[in-house]
């Protein structure tokens, strides 16, 4: 094999037969890593076919990345994890929460890829959402920062981001219906179905997502709740800091308007039907603008986690080995054991859906391995929309708004 690149590795100057013998001795993750990190090999007809032949062995589905139910230490998960770790460099780092490579700037002090995180020993694992966080809006909708940015662009009728086109249109999501809010803006309405175990406490609620005059995404939610204490069980959290059935909402108070001191969420309380022992609570939450990095408004609304939570995630990720022979697969039941620990999570509320309905991306994202080593757009400017940085590993299955930090 000959190459015109003067910086090419001496490995490529070996005879073709010798190179093939070396390649066959490598495990699949190392083979793919070698072939995708060299442009000449990647575009070679024979070796490109080899990469595509490995495609089924790296394909993972949404159930293998569901950390709440199963750790998924099967062949595709381990192979994918190994490959992404090997492709890390000074610019890109592996995120084990979404099986992708992200710019290192997206990892903060809660991440092993940050120099101020000495308490996390495993340097090969990190989670990008340690910085961006997750915002819970209702039992069936949780947003990452990129979900929020995509929704904001949709509501502003901004079609400039080409990456939005790889996902199904938001207006086709059965959970939403679109309403006009202005000549150049629109809103999304979501009527939430309360789970049966909560009926009698929180009867129903409706949420409207729209843009305010500053182009910030606003979540305006109206809840109907009962006021008696006897049936109050585990409650929804109207904001990350107060449960909906907490005393500020259901006890008589002088001021009808209130503000959460932590996230500045505003709520308004009004009585419902006097003979039904119920009231209406309206919450308004500012989710911030659509620029990267996420602003202070978004960070105030995100789900609160402790260091212990992140430590648990990193310990779980360490159980997946890097080098695995074909007959050496880890049994799936191994992941089930750790998932059943009663002390697995620090806060029960944090074990809700990690991302926002993302079965769709798992089917669409296995198109090529080319983007495993770099972002599709190769833009490093953090002041622009960051959806491009979520897809450096185009074949990695993650959650997105149908889509899914």
pLDDT tens for residues 52-105? 777 666 665 544 444 433 444 556 667 777 888 888 888 888 876 666 787 777
Phi, psi angles (nearest 5°) of residue 361: -70, -30
Task: Look at residue 275 in the predicted model and tell me its pLDDT.
Answer: 58
- Low pLDDT (below 50) residues in the chain: 1-4, 62-72, 115-123, 198-199, 230-233, 247-250, 252, 319-405
Q: Which residues does 269 contact at the CB level (< 8 Å), separation at least 6? A: 249, 253, 256, 258, 279, 280, 281, 282
Task: Look at residue 333 in the predicted model and tell me its pLDDT.
Answer: 32
Cα–Cα distance, 74 to 330 (Å, whole number): 6
Confirm if 398 and 358 have CB atoms less than 8 A apart.
yes
Provide the greatest CA pair distance for the chain. 88
Among the listed residues 110, 62, 69, the one whose alpha carbon sits nearest the alpha carbon of residue 352: 69
Q: Which run of H or E residues covers position 250?
A: helix 247-250
Residues 259 and 381 in one domain: no
Cβ count near 114 (within 10 Å): 18
Residue 385 is encoded by which pair of tokens? 């929309």
Task: Look at residue 23 in the predicted model and tell me its pLDDT.
Answer: 87
- Is 291 within a domain? no
- Domain, as residue range, for 251: 134-286
Cβ count near 331 (within 10 Å): 10
Task: Look at residue 350 in the predicted model and tell me its pLDDT.
Answer: 29
Residues 168 and 148 in one domain: yes
Place of tokens 């699949």: 28
Residues 280 and 155 in one domain: yes
Residues 254 and 375 in one domain: no
Residues 155 and 119 in one domain: no
Residues 235 and 261 in one domain: yes
Total number of residues shown for the chain = 405
Place of tokens 């007959």: 327
Phi, psi angles (nearest 5°) of residue 158: -95, 110
Place of tokens 């994918």: 80
Q: What is the pTM of this model?
A: 0.53
Please tell me the total count of domains within the chain.
Answer: 3
Task: Look at residue 101 in the predicted model and tell me its pLDDT.
Answer: 80
């Amino acid at each position: 094999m000959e190459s015109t690149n003067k910086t090419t590795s001496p490995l490529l100057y070996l005879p073709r037969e010798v190179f093939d013998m070396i390649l066959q001795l490598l495990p699949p993750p190392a083979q793919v890593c070698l072939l995708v990190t060299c442009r000449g090999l990647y575009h070679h007809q024979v070796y490109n076919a080899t990469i595509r032949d490995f495609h089924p062995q790296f394909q993972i589905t949404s159930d293998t990345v569901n950390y709440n139910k199963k750790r998924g230490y099967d062949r595709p998960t381990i192979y994918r994890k190994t490959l992404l770790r090997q492709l890390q460099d000074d610019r890109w780092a592996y995120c084990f929460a979404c099986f992708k490579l992200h710019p290192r700037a997206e990892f903060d002090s809660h991440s092993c890829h940050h120099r101020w995180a000495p308490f996390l020993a495993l340097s090969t694992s990190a989670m990008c959402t340690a910085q961006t966080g997750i915002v819970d809006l209702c039992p069936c909708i949780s947003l990452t920062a990129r979900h929020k940015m995509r929704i904001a662009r949709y509501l502003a009728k901004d079609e400039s981001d080409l990456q939005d086109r790889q996902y199904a249109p938001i207006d086709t999501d059965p959970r939403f219906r679109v309403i006009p809010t202005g000549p150049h803006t629109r809103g999304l309405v979501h009527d939430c179905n309360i789970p049966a175990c909560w009926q009698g406490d929180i009867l129903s609620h409706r949420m409207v997502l729209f843009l305010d005059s500053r182009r910030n995404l606003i979540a305006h939610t109206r809840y109907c709740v009962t006021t008696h204490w006897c049936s109050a069980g585990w409650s929804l959290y109207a904001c990350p800091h107060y449960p909906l059935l907490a005393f500020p909402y259901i006890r008589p108070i002088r001021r009808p308007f209130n503000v959460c001191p932590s996230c500045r969420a505003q709520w308004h309380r009004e009585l419902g039907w006097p003979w039904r022992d119920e009231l209406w609570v309206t919450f308004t939450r500012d989710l911030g603008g659509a620029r990267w990095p996420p602003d202070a408004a978004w960070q105030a609304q995100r789900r609160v986690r402790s260091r212990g939570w992140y430590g648990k995630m990193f310990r779980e990720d360490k159980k997946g080995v890097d080098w695995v022979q074909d007959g050496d697969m880890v049994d799936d039941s191994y992941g089930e054991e750790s998932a059943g620990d009663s002390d697995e999570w620090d806060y029960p509320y944090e074990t809700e859906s990690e991302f926002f309905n993302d079965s769709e991306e798992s089917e669409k994202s296995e198109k090529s391995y080319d983007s495993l080593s770099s972002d599709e757009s190769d833009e490093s400017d953090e002041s622009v929309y960051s959806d491009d940085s979520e897809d450096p590993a185009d074949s990695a299955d993650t959650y997105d708004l149908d889509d899914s930090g």
